[in-house]
């Protein structure tokens, strides 16, 4: 993935940590929405509501605050340039390689999916290039295309549908990329709307929907990313605890040592939020009368 637009306010190591944190926040947001749907299916409305509230915090507070710290959102042209770069990488390199590896490993379904997504990303790239022309050269008569429509795919609870561990790793990497693209395009779309570019806002938001409800969803099905609610809760508690006890405190210490005081404060506050999330999800697990396996 290309680095986001430069902001020279933070130390390079802090920037790397923030980018990594944002990928985790984006993945948590998208995953929690899928877990909420699964809780709906199991008729567990309180669990579903907690997942939806927490998903909102991960994107609209944590991801958004971190995005501000590294200057992720630029002007519309910079955002389009960044998006075009990301789509190019996915279409011409990442998904092409993943498809070839899945084919070599005999994971034909995954190979087909990776190839189909590569074609979609190439189409996203074309639309972003057209939008760039429309925004930078209005006299050209080019308009921002908005002909993007997501065909949402339901995520079923179940185990992985692939045979090789390399395919599974690639699916997980791809899911992180899709979640990050979703979160980024959501913010880029908001920026376009705020700056009086409703067509561009629609393009970003609709493309975001494709990344989450089609690409991520199809990959999640093959990767077995959603299980029954007790298992989802255990995975969630483990992730939130790691972020709250280890990852964010480490990042905060590193930011503080590098002189990024404002960032360190944000990261410390985020650590506290994650521990609250872990506690709330543990409460739901107890209410269901379940426990997590001690090995996890």
**Measuring CA to CA, how many Å separate 187 from each of 53, 73, 79, 162, 202?**
18, 7, 10, 33, 12
Measured from the CB of residue 11, what is the shortest distance to Fe ion in angstroms? 21
121 binds Fe ion (CB under 5 A): yes
Please tell me the distance from the alpha carbon of residue 67 to that of residue 70, in angstroms, as a whole number: 5
Closest distance of CB 127 from Fe ion, Å: 9
**What backbone torsions phi and psi does residue 273 show, to the nearest 5 degrees?**
-60, -45
Binding mask 79-98 for Fe ion (x = CB under 5 A): --------x-----------
Q: How many residues bind Fe ion (CB under 5 A)?
A: 12
Stretch near Fe ion under the rule CB under 5 A, chosen from 66-74, 149-157, 168-176, 178-186: 178-186
Q: How far is the CB of 19 from Fe ion (least distance, A)?
A: 14
212 belongs to the binding site for Fe ion (CB under 5 A):
no
Q: Does 206 participate in binding Fe ion (rule CB under 5 A)?
A: no
3-state secondary structure of 120: helix
Contact positions with Fe ion (CB under 5 A) in 215-274: 215, 240, 274
Q: Give the residue among 192, 255, 202, 242 at the shortest CA–CA distance from 66.
A: 255
Residue 62 found at the interface with Fe ion (CB under 5 A):
yes
Length of the chain, please?
296
How far are the Cα atoms of 17, 36, 82, 160, 241 from residue 20, in angstroms, in the given order? 5, 24, 17, 25, 17
Interface characters, 9-48, with Fe ion (x: CB under 5 A):
----------------x-----------------------
To the nearest whole angstrom, how small is the minimum distance from the Cβ of residue 264 to Fe ion?
16
> Buried (b) or exposed (e) across 19-32, using 16+ Cβ within 10 A?
bebbbbbbbbbbbb
Instruction: Count Cα atoms within 13 angstroms, Cβ side, for 293.
Output: 5
Which segment (9-17, 121-129, 184-192, 287-295) binds Fe ion by CB under 5 A?
121-129
Nearer to Fe ion, 10 or 91 (CB): 91
Q: How far is the CB of 139 from Fe ion (least distance, A)?
A: 29
Can you tell me the distance from the alpha carbon of 264 to that of 274, in angstroms, rounded to the nearest whole number? Answer: 15
Of 130 and 163, which has the nearer Cβ to Fe ion?
Answer: 130
CA torsion sign, 162 to 167 to 168 to 174? negative
User: Of these, 277, 282, 284, 285, which contacts Fe ion (CB under 5 A)?
Assistant: 277
Does residue 191 interact with Fe ion by CB under 5 A? no
The answer to whether the CB of 180 falls within 8 A of the CB of 1 is: yes
Name the residue nearer to Fe ion (CB basis): 85 or 163.
85
- CA 11, CA 257: separation in Å to the nearest integer? 10
Contact flag: residue 284 with Fe ion (CB under 5 A):
no
105 or 274: CB nearest Fe ion: 274
> Which residues are near Fe ion by CB under 5 A?
25, 58, 62, 87, 121, 124, 178, 211, 215, 240, 274, 277
């Amino acid at each position: 993935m290309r680095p986001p637009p430069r902001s020279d306010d933070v130390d390079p190591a802090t920037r790397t940590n923030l980018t990594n944190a944002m990928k985790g926040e984006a993945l948590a947001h998208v995953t929690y929405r899928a877990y909420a749907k699964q809780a709906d299916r199991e008729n567990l409305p309180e669990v579903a509501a907690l997942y939806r509230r927490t998903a909102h915090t991960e994107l609209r507070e944590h991801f958004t605050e971190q995005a501000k710290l590294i200057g992720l959102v630029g002007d519309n042209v910079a955002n389009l340039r960044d998006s075009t770069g990301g789509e190019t990488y996915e279409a011409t390199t990442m998904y092409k390689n993943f498809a070839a590896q899945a084919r070599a490993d005999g994971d034909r379904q995954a190979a087909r999916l990776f190839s189909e997504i590569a074609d979609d990303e190439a189409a996203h790239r074309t639309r972003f290039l057209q939008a760039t022309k429309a925004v930078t050269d209005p006299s050209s008569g080019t308009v921002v295309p908005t002909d993007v429509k997501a065909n949402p795919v339901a995520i079923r609870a179940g185990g992985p549908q692939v045979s090789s561990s390399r395919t599974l790793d690639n699916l997980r990497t791809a899911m992180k990329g899709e979640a990050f693209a979703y979160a980024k395009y959501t913010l880029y779309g908001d920026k376009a709307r705020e700056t009086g570019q409703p067509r561009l806002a629609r393009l970003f938001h609709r493309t975001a929907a494709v990344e989450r409800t089609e690409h991520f969803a199809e990959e999640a099905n093959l990767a077995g990313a959603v299980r029954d609610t007790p298992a989802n809760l255990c995975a969630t508690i483990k992730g939130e605890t790691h972020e709250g006890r280890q990852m964010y405190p480490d990042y905060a210490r590193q930011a503080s040592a590098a002189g990024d005081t404002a960032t360190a404060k944000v990261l410390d506050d985020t650590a506290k939020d994650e521990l609250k999330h872990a506690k709330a999800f543990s409460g739901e697990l107890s209410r269901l009368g379940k426990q997590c396996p001690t090995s996890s």
